[in-house]
Amino acid sequence: MSILEVKNLEKSFDNLQVLKDISLKADNGEIISLIGSSGSGKSTLLRCLNRLETVDSGEIIVDGDIMVSTLNGKSVYANETVLKNIRMKTGLVFQNFNLFPHYNVLRNITEAPIFAAGIPKEEAEKTAFELLDKLGLKDKAEAYPYQLSGGQSQRVSIARALALKPKVLFFDEPTSALDPELTGEVLKVIRSLTSLNMTMIIVTHEMDFARDISNRMIFMDQGVIVEDTTPAELFNSNNERTKAFLGKFH
């Protein structure tokens, strides 16, 4: 069964239609890269899937729970209990880390597990230390975000997302705010997560990385999904829009 299913999603900002009839499915453990030019709607799609934006119409189903569907032309969201259940199953890693500046690393990671998921503090901290260790940040538990490099900050925000043990983890250009020399360390961490059998949907412009780790790649252009296929097929595509986009990376 699909862990995530999106059907005929539509989203406009005022008169600008940003998502047009978007449908996709992700299976358990699948790694999907979402690529496309700036302004094609990638972030808006991830924001809709994480309820940071509301959709105009269409359906989103997470692990069998309907988050939103359309009834008589209007979108209808599930009740709070279902939405909370869904929120615990998904995580989002932002381009600009979005750490709490006034909390240290440990508290950044344990805040949601303790206060949103109700996990006992001791257990949440144990998990946090395990994650910090795994992500090469063992000595940073007491540090504050301003004391971290961009690469370290992004690894902390990945640890924070992992602390809730999501079934689906979304990344929105996780390395595009980083200097090239820090990009590698974050890509390496993301690559190391591929063994966890967690579904990952990654918006990225790192084409070699995407090609390498993805089971599927989805190319979006001007609010539509142009292609949804394997990396090998995408890079051999005959589609003019796909070729024009990929051509920019050579």
Specify the long-range contacts of residues 98-102, CB closer than 8 Å, at least 24 apart: 98/157, 99/145, 99/153, 99/156, 99/157, 99/160, 100/145, 101/144, 101/145, 101/146, 102/144
Residues 6+ apart with CB under 8 A from 26: 2, 3, 4, 5, 32, 168, 199, 201
Q: Nearer Cβ to Mg ion, position 172 or 185?
A: 172
Q: Which does 100 bind (CB under 5 to 8 A by kind): Mg ion, ligand ADP, none?
A: none
CA nearest to 46, candidates 153, 137, 207, 168: 168
Can residue 40 be called a binding residue for ligand ADP (CB under 6 A)? yes
CB 41, min distance to ligand ADP, A: 4
Sign of CA dihedral 49, 53, 59, 62: positive
Can residue 75 be called a binding residue for ligand ADP (CB under 6 A)? no
CB 111, min distance to Mg ion, A: 25
Phi, psi torsion values for 170, nearest 5 degrees: -105, 140
Can residue 15 be called a binding residue for ligand ADP (CB under 6 A)? no
Q: Which helix (H) or strand (E) holds 240?
A: helix 240-247
- Give the residue, chosen from 24, 31, 33, 36, that forms a contact with ligand ADP under the rule CB under 6 A: 36
Region of 37-45, 123-131, 175-183, 242-250 interacting with ligand ADP (CB under 6 A): 37-45
Q: Are 79 and 85 in contact (CB under 8 A)?
A: no
Residues 6+ apart with CB under 8 A from 138: 129, 132
Phi, psi torsion values for 193, nearest 5 degrees: -80, -15
CA pair distance 15, 21, nearest whole angstrom:
16
Report the site for ligand ADP in 43-72 (rule: CB under 6 A): 43-44
Q: Nearer Cβ to Mg ion, position 151 or 174?
A: 174
CA nearest to 63, candidates 82, 86, 40: 86
Region of 32-40, 84-92, 141-149, 209-217 interacting with ligand ADP (CB under 6 A): 32-40
- Give the residue, chosen from 43, 75, 157, 214, that forms a contact with Mg ion under the rule CB under 5 A: 43
CB 195, min distance to ligand ADP, A: 28
Can residue 11 be called a binding residue for ligand ADP (CB under 6 A)? no
Region of 41-49, 72-80, 102-110, 142-150 interacting with Mg ion (CB under 5 A): 41-49
Collapse the DSSP code of 241 into the 3-class scheme (helix H, G, I; strand E, B; otherwise coil) and give the result.
helix
Site string for ligand ADP, 175-214 (x = CB under 6 A): ----------------------------------------
Can residue 90 be called a binding residue for Mg ion (CB under 5 A)? no
- Name the residues that contact Mg ion, by CB under 5 A: 42-43
- Give contact residues for ligand ADP (rule: CB under 6 A): 13, 18, 36, 38-44
